[in-house]
Structure 1
Amino acid sequence: MSATPSRRDPDRRRALLEAADTVILREGPEASMASIAAEAGVSKPILYRHFGDKSGLYQTLAERHSRVLIEAIRAAMLRDAGMRERVHDGIDTYLAMISANLHFYRFLMHRARAEDTATHSVMSTVMQSLGDEIAEILPTEPGPAGAARAQVWAHAIVGMVQNAGDWWLDHPEVARAAVVESLTDLVLGGLTARRAVV
């Protein structure tokens, strides 16, 4: 059983998280607990004492960084603008942030998520919450059927943009603006087609 994470020294805990950030930004998915401990100037047991174990550190990092990402996307999509502008800016915000934090994105979404079930759960919950929020702003017919359709669309959009973003990160020769426009056209085209037959 994991030890209870120590919260007696929040400044030390914050410093350890900043050390983890530094190592992950430098080394990407290959970042190790030993490297993080060395960067922080502590032993691995002390590092684990603050987070319980490796899983605890992964979860804390996932929650910390996914919150920043989601808040930025939420701000873009909930601003006072037309639907196309909000969809466009939400997608652009997501792609801009994952490309600017490429090592961190790959560490959390690929390495940590793959090897730690709790981190996988954290990231899945984040994406689920984002889908729920997008469903609230999608235009659809009233009633339970319309609400269900909005949920289907919203979660499909989240999955589509995430997978397209993963592809784009491996194809940097493609301009971000082109990817954003293509995804926006795809999303808005589907919504327009749906409204046309309602």
Structure 2
Amino acid sequence: MLPTAQSPATDGRTARWTAHRASRHAELVRAARHAIHEQGPEASMAEIAAHAGISKPVLYRYFHDKNGLRDAVGRAVLRRMHDGLEQAATSASGPRERIAGMVEVYLEMANASPNVYAFVVRDSELGSFVGEVVDLVIDAVRPALPDEDSSLDERLRPWAAGVVGLVRGAVEEWLNHPGALQREDVAGQLTTWLWDGAAGLLRRARNGAGLEENRSE
């Protein structure tokens, strides 16, 4: 027997229900993010529910458990950060400006809410996000490197991953010692360190050398 097609009325109700759940899900994610901002990354489901003015069963209905809520909040925050990083990378006039803009976006996100940042960097989605940021770092310097090297992107990845690790470590150290340095100072230092490394890549490329050091030198 062939399946019976749903009526337009049924399709409409399904679409409205799906839209309602998506809207409610986004609303709860925002409320959870605000609760974490106020109460810290260890906020319990009960504390988050109370902050949002809802019952715990509602949170569990939408997110199943705290890990589900953590994933949802992490994805939302990381998506916003990724958009900012991508915009900074594409709007700058050159490689150094791209790196400076991306450092500033990362610092701004972390400084805006250290509690949310701490929550996000523990999230299971971080691994894929780091991979996306690595791609953005490669894109920042790739246009200035020779086009004929088909393996260049893959050989840039270890350097770019090191860049992301350096920024993350420096930002977390800065957050753990508030007042020691202004955000502008941290941004300037990171940009200089990262650009020195990128400039070395560009210089070797212009001289016809590979990215790796010549072991016979």
TM-score w.r.t. the length of structure 1 is 0.83
Shift of 1:57: 1.0
1:16 corresponds to: 28
Number of the residue aligned with 2:189: 182
Q: Runs of at least 4 residues of structure 1 off by over 6 A? A: none
Query: Which residue number in structure 2 is paired with residue 78 of structure 1?
Result: 90
How many equivalent pairs are there? Answer: 184
Alignment of 1:96-175 (within 5 A): 96-109=108-121, 113=122, 119-120=123-124, 122-138=125-141, 139-141=144-146, 142-172=148-178, 173-175=180-182
SS of 1:21 mapped into structure 2? helix
Q: Which amino acid aligns with 1:124?
A: G
Structure 2 residue matching 1:149: 3-state secondary structure: helix
* Most deviating of 188-197 and 128-137: 188-197
Instruction: Report 1:46-85 matches (<5 A).
Output: 46-85=58-97
Q: Give the root-mean-square deviation of aligned CA atoms.
A: 2.0
CA distance in 1, matches of 2:42, 2:101: 32
Per the TM alignment, residue 102 of structure 1 is displaced from its structure 2 partner at its CA by 1.3
The 2-side partners of 1:191 and 1:15 are apart by 41
- Identity rate of aligned residues, in percent? 32
**Partner Cα separation in structure 2 for residue 80 and residue 165 of structure 1:** 22
Alpha carbons 2:89, 2:98 under 8 Å: kept: yes
5+ long unaligned stretches in structure 1 = 1-5, 114-118
Q: 1:193 pairs with 180, 191, 200, which one?
A: 200
Matches of 1:37 and 1:134, distance apart in 2: 38
| Letter matched to residue 140 of structure 1 | L
1:7-60 per-position Cα deviation (integer Å, ceiling 9, x unaligned): 563343333223212211111112110111122333322211111222211111
Please state how far the C-alpha of 1:61 moved relative to its aligned partner. Answer: 0.5
User: How far apart are residue 159 of structure 1 and its match?
Assistant: 1.2
For 1:42, the equivalent position in structure 2 comes to 54
Larger RCO: 1 or 2 (CA < 8 Å, sep 6+): 1
The separation in 2 between residues aligned to 1:183 and 1:95, in whole angstroms, is: 10
Return 5+ residue gaps in structure 2 as ranges. 1-16, 210-217
1:80 is displaced (CA, Å) by: 4.0
User: CA offset at residue 93 of structure 1?
Assistant: 1.4
Report if the CA contact (8 A) 1:24-1:31 is conserved: yes
Conservation of the 8 A alpha-carbon contact between 1:140 and 1:149: no
State the Cα distance separating 1:153 from its structure 2 match: 1.9
| Counterpart-to-counterpart distance in 2, 1:21 and 1:49 | 18
**Which structure has the greater CA radius of gyration?**
2
The DSSP-based 3-state class of the residue aligned with 1:144 is: coil
CA contact (8 A) 1:132 1:155 kept: no
Change (3 A) 1:164 1:61: same
Question: Contact 2:35/2:52 (CA < 8 Å) preserved in 1?
Answer: no
